[in-house]
């Protein structure tokens, strides 16, 4: 049970802050939690039916995704190299 309340907001950040509640738990089970987040919503105002960006929110997603993908790729490569060098302690 969590001792702190979890707040869920509507709009573009809907549920994004709830990810912070999982950081410690995911780290403890050996997962790497990256610092970048990617908040998408409301989806119908961000992407069309073909998955192409729409308007200002779609352009923001395009811009933010680059940072998110770079961060994820960097940590993926770092984790692979470290696991090849040394077995995880868990």
pLDDT of residue 39: 78
pLDDT of residue 50: 94
Contacts of 61 (CB under 8 A, 6+ apart): 38, 40, 46, 47, 53
Residue 1 maps to a domain: no
Mean pLDDT rounded to a whole number for the chain: 81
pTM: 0.67
Residue 6 maps to a domain: no
Residue 4 maps to a domain: no
pLDDT at 7 over 60: no
17-58: pLDDT as tens digits = 777 788 889 888 888 888 888 877 788 889 999 999 999 999
Tokens representing residue 36 in the block: 């970048």
Count of domains forming the chain? 1
Residue 3 maps to a domain: no
Which domain covers residue 32, as residue numbers? 11-85
């Amino acid at each position: 049970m969590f001792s702190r309340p979890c707040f869920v907001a509507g709009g573009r950040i809907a549920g994004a802050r709830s990810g912070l509640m999982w950081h410690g738990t995911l780290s403890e089970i050996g997962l790497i939690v990256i610092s970048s987040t990617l908040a998408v919503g409301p989806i119908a105002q961000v992407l069309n039916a073909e998955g192409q960006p729409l308007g200002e929110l779609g352009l923001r997603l395009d811009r933010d995704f680059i940072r998110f993908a770079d961060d994820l790729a960097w940590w993926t490569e770092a984790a692979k190299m470290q696991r090849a060098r040394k077995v995880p302690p868990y």
